[in-house]
Structure 1
Amino acid sequence: MAALPKSDKPSRRQSPSGLPHWVRPPTVAAALGVASALVLLNLATLVGGDHQPWLVAIDAVFDLAVLALVAVVFVRIGLRVDAETERMRDALDEATTRLGAIVETAMDPIITVDDSQRIVLFNHAAEQAFGCARSSAIGAPLETFIPQRFRAGHRQSVEDFSRTGTTTRRMGEHSVLWALRADGSEFPIEASISQTVAGTRRYFTVILRDITRRKNFEDALHRQQAELRELSARVLEAREEEKTLIARELHDELGQLLTALKMDVAWLRERLPADAPETAQKVEQMNAVLDQTVGSVRRISADLRPLMLDDLGLVDAANWLVEDFAQRAGVECDLDIAPEADFETLERTPATALYRALQESLTNIGRHAGARQAWIRLRVEGDTACLEVEDDGRGIEVEDIAKPRSLGLKGMRERALYLGGALEVERAARGGTRLRLRVPLRSARESAP
């Protein structure tokens, strides 16, 4: 285990000047007083010692006493210094032992390296995580436990971190970090790094955690989400196919039958006698009901799947949808659609997603927004089709987007994600709601062989 850097702060057993606590001002004053008396007595002996022998004797006795006192003081000082040193050494050993026990019993692996990135500390959790004994790890380069493809980048990252002056930092915030066990197997980790300076040496300490189980759970969750999204997309495609089939049957078969019935009613009306006004009125009512039925069948067929979307393309279908909405809802619509040539490479599935998003947006404007005007933009940017719908209504709230019953928005988002696009719904500058949908012109799933 690496020695901990010593602190420059005075211990609790020292005065602020760095001297032991028992060196106090009274002690220093007494020593200075004795020294002053000795100096004065020696001066007096030098001046009058030849005529006063008793003064010489007193001076000698006093010198001996002072020497004895000094010897005793030095002995006591030495004993006190030894005791203080021993006490401080015991306190340091206790703190080191306590810190070592904390590091050793930590649940997370802790590794400390010096400025040459050689390991100087390797706790018990690190031994278990990497399958390597401490005796083998100490002194080894840290790269021993890093996969080959990450070693150069890791060394540079540590060197950059040492120059920042930052004390601690989390590693791999935007990516998964990988470590290498002694048996050559890799495992994902999350880690933080810190740096300290002890004397002239710099040490880096990494605290890491094995996240294999968590990553397995996350991967499983992502796979399940992908499967659910795939299933949802397949369900939507099946619905579209069923809607298309029903719409064509309504348009072709039921529409033809209604047309034939209308022709029969017209034939009957032409042959009614002039003296049967009640019958003529009934025939006119039948003809009106037939006209209404034909209109309803056309509307239902268009709502299920506008045939012009398949026959004429997205541009004509979007124009018809917006014009029909403006007439029925009384909302002024500003429509801006790119030339039809821009959508030549647009495939069926993305076209359906754009049309359904436009249809759902206009339905929401008519039902919930209370808007007087709407703006619709349909553009092609590179290999992406972009739809933007905005209104000047009351606007959507964040909690409305998160409501479980907001199935229309959820369906649009799932369509977009499935196709590799994105959907954004937010409040517009005019106060209403703005919807932006971006989907690729060509679906990777449709283009795949």
Structure 2
Amino acid sequence: MLGRVHILGVNQSLLDLTGAHNLEDFVANRSKFFVSMTEKTVFKLMDLIRDGGGHFEEETKIKSLSGEIKKVVVRLKYPAAPPYNSVAITMLDVTKQKESEQKIKESEEKQKTILQTLLEQVVILDPEGGILYINHVAPGFTKEELIGSNWLQWLHELDQAKAKEAIRQTLDSDVFYELQLRFFGADRKMSLFNIRMIPMPDASNQQVLVVATDITDRKKAEDELKHSTKQLRELTTHLQNVREEERKRIAREIHDELGQQLTAIKMDLAWINKKIPAESVITADQISFKSKMHNLMILVDGSNESVRKILNELRHGILEDNGLREAIEWQGNQFTEVTGVPLKFITSETTLILPEDIANCLFRLYQESLTNIARHAKATKVISSLTIKDDAIFLTIEDDGKGFDLNLLRSNKSFGILGMKERVLSLHGHFELLTEEGNGTKINIILPLKPYNIT
């Protein structure tokens, strides 16, 4: 049928499209080009020529002389004015366009599949909060119900203004925005979501992509953990107070009972010793007896010294009677006397009137730190300082010893350091341990002096 059509001329673009060299080459091979031309197209072409007028357009495929298949849009148009004896045929190569459209379609399908499989809820909003797209909906809702509705209406009324402002700022600033919002479900049960907003790169740049993650259970678990941690620290404080009171009670009993008994024994031994005659007039047995009495008095003196040491460990009279500064200075002197390591204590505080729990905490931590240095650090000098600033008290202990690997400390579960840290945290303070192998150790302790309320 196409043979009945006389081709008057073709342009260079059509020659390039088909691979023909010239008009004659195109005419000679025209039956090879229209590989997918339908009968409908052919008859329409004939109708146009016969009836004289109108136009027609169809997407089809042609095959170039090199064998390459290309997609084209064929347009047929009859002249609007006489003579009505020709038809203009144009062919537009849309191969690359169709390939791009196919890739876009495949990409959109992949994106749709990904969005549908995400656990997070993905929503696209217009500037007023209208829902343009949603990947999946909560139980009790349908997509038909949500698409076109206003996203803000599903929020807790106290969060609506905040969410509207977040949408505005996201569009205005063209940056990522994050916040937490409360939503009501179909059953009016409230859930907490973490919301991330970014502007959508659409033509008008007036759409917001929202990724919503339900954190209701996580928030509940966090709150329960915080409450549990608060209770544990309150328990730690209570146990520390009980421990200090028990120390005091035991110290009083040792002082009042054992101390007095040892003193009485020493007095009786001294009385007996005086009743023994001088060595020049006593027998050998009496000399031996007098030597035993002397040994007993030495043992009693040693027992009294041991009692004093025990009492100092249990109840620091110097801390209660003279305060924290004097107690720290005394402990430093004791440390140097026992270890031979010089300790420099720096403070500008002349009078320290502190709550008992804070004073006890700092002194016990100071003791524990010096004990650790004596046992493990192999230090040649120690520097400590005590200052008060901005309603907080700062205690620092630093040595030039061998230090240690903090990661190794964590893996070994050092309960001594953990106990120190928890003791500080129980008073709402800050504990910091700085160390590395070969470079000594530094402990920073900060305790607030004003009441601290946990919200």
Give the TM-score taking structure 1 as reference length.
0.73
1:145 equivalent to 2:133? Answer: no
Contact 2:182 2:193 in 1 (8 A): yes
Q: Quick check: 2:193–2:212 contact (8 Å CA) kept in 1?
A: yes
Equivalence for 2:129: 117
Q: Does the CA-based 8 Å contact 2:402-2:437 persist in structure 1?
A: no
SS at match of 1:198: coil
Q: Given the alignment of the two structures, is residue 418 of structure 1 paired with residue 420 of structure 2, yes or no?
A: no
Whether 1:199 and 2:203 are equivalent positions in the alignment is yes
Q: Distance in 2 between matches of 1:105 and 1:440?
A: 50
Tell me what 1:63 maps to: none
- The aligned counterpart of 2:444 is 436
C-alpha contact (below 8 Å) 1:190/1:209 kept by paired residues: yes
* Matched-pair contact (CA < 8 Å) for 1:144–1:180: no
- Aligned partner of residue 126 in structure 1, secondary structure: coil
The answer to whether the 8 A contact 2:237-2:427 is kept is no
What's the counterpart of residue 368 of structure 1?
A: 376
Distance 1:282 1:79, change over 3 A: closer
SS in 1 for 2:236: helix
In the alignment, which residue of structure 2 is the partner of 1:245?
249
Aligned pair count reads 380
Aligned partner of 2:318: which letter?
Answer: M
Query: Is the partner of 2:402 in helix, strand or coil?
Result: coil
Q: Which amino acid aligns with 2:159?
A: F
Q: Is the Cα–Cα contact under 8 Å of residues 377 and 389 in structure 1 kept in the other structure?
A: yes
Counterpart for residue 279 of structure 1: 289
Distance, in Å, in 2 between the alignment partners of 1:264 and 1:385 is 50
Instruction: Give the distance between the partners of 1:165 and 1:380, measured in 2 at CA.
Output: 47
Q: 1:253 to 1:308 in 2, by over 3 A?
A: farther
3-state secondary structure, aligned to 2:291: helix
Residue in 1 that maps onto 2:389: 381
Query: Which aligned pairs between 1:35-46 and structure 2 lie closer than 5 A?
Result: none
Give 1:347's match in structure 2, choosing from 342, 355, 362.
355
Q: How does 1:36-115 map to 2 (within 5 A)?
A: 79-80=60-61, 81=72, 99-100=111-112, 103-104=115-116, 106-115=118-127
SS at match of 1:379: strand
Secondary structure of the corresponding residue to residue 402 of structure 1: helix
Ranges in structure 2 where 5+ consecutive residues have no aligned partner: 1-12, 27-48, 62-71, 75-93
Q: Of the two structures, which has the highest relative contact order with CA contacts closer than 8 Å and spacing of 6 or more?
A: 1
Q: Per the alignment, do residues 76 and 146 of structure 1 end up closer, same or farther by CA in structure 2, a change over 3 Å counting?
A: closer
Give the whole-Å Cα distance in 2 for the aligned partners of 1:222 and 1:437.
Answer: 22
> For 1:393, what is the secondary structure of its paired residue?
coil
Asked if structure 2 preserves the Cα contact closer than 8 Å seen for 1:145 and 1:182, the reply is no
Higher normalized helix content (fraction of residues): 1
How does 1:164-203 map onto structure 2 within 5 Å?
164-166=173-175, 169=176, 171-172=178-179, 176-181=180-185, 185-203=189-207
More deviation, 87-96/237-246 = 87-96
Q: Which amino acid aligns with 1:171?
A: E
1:410 aligns to what SS in structure 2? Answer: helix
Give the drift of 1:357: 0.4
Corresponding residue for 1:3?
Answer: none
Contact kept in structure 1, 2:166 and 2:177, CA below 8 Å = no
Matched, 1:269 2:273: yes
Q: Could you tell me how far 1:229 is from its partner in structure 2? A: 2.5
Call closer, same or farther: CA 1:388–1:107 in 2, change over 3 Å: closer
Shift of 1:362: 0.6
How far does residue 420 in structure 1 lie from its aligned partner after superposition? 0.8
What amino acid does structure 2 have at the position aligned with 1:368? H
Residues 404 and 437 in structure 2, CA contact (< 8 A), matched pair in contact too: no
Preserved CA contact (<8 Å) 1:350 1:442: no
> How far 1:389 sits from its partner (Å)?
0.5
Q: 1:210 aligns with which of 192, 205, 214?
A: 214
Q: Give, in whole Å, the separation in 2 of the partners of 1:92 and 1:396.
A: 59
Q: Identical aligned pairs, as a percentage?
A: 29
Residue 25 of structure 1 corresponds to: 16
Report the Cα offset of residue 406 of structure 1.
1.9
Q: CA deviation at 1:153?
A: 3.6
Aligned to 2:82: none
| Change in 2 beyond 3 A, CA 1:396/1:170 | farther
User: Does the Cα contact within 8 Å between 2:170 and 2:208 map onto a contact in 1?
Assistant: no
Distance 1:75 1:146, change over 3 A: closer
